[in-house]
Amino acid sequence: MNKKQITFDDLKNRNFDTKGITKHFCIINCEKCNITTKFLVISFCKRKYRENLCTICYRLLKMYDIDWRNNNSKSQLIAQNKPEVIEKQRLSQLKRFSNGRS
């Protein structure tokens, strides 16, 4: 499998072949923490803000964005309302209250 490495400048200028983009890696030097990071191009393309930041710095800066919070809230609601999760929570509560604790 031939995986191609792409720099942030290439990504910004779109100087790469989009065929098989999921197999391409991007190497960036984070502007905030100055650490060189390597990650898949597809994960960078899914970002709302395409800035030269590593995953950790990006998350710390952008996770309080109102759109991010709304999307995260919707995702948690979907995850918590799955039948198997509800059943697990119900059994946990039954076990908790059957021990005589309140």
Strands 25-29 and 5-7: parallel
Q: What is the pTM of this model?
A: 0.52
Query: 39-46 long-range contacts, Cβ below 8 Å, gap at least 24?
Result: 41/6, 41/11, 41/16, 44/11, 45/21
Angle, in degrees to the nearest 10, between helices 83-98 and 66-80? 70
Identity at 3, one-letter amino acid code: K
pLDDT on residue 1 = 41
- CB atoms < 10 A from the CB of 60, how many? 13
- CB atoms < 10 A from the CB of 65, how many? 13
Output the DSSP codes for 7-44. Answer: EHHHHHHT-S--TTGGG-EEEEE-TTT--EEEEEHHHH
How high does pLDDT run on average in the chain?
Answer: 79
pLDDT digits (tens, 9 = 90+) for 18-31: 555 666 777 888 88
Identity at 69, one-letter amino acid code: R
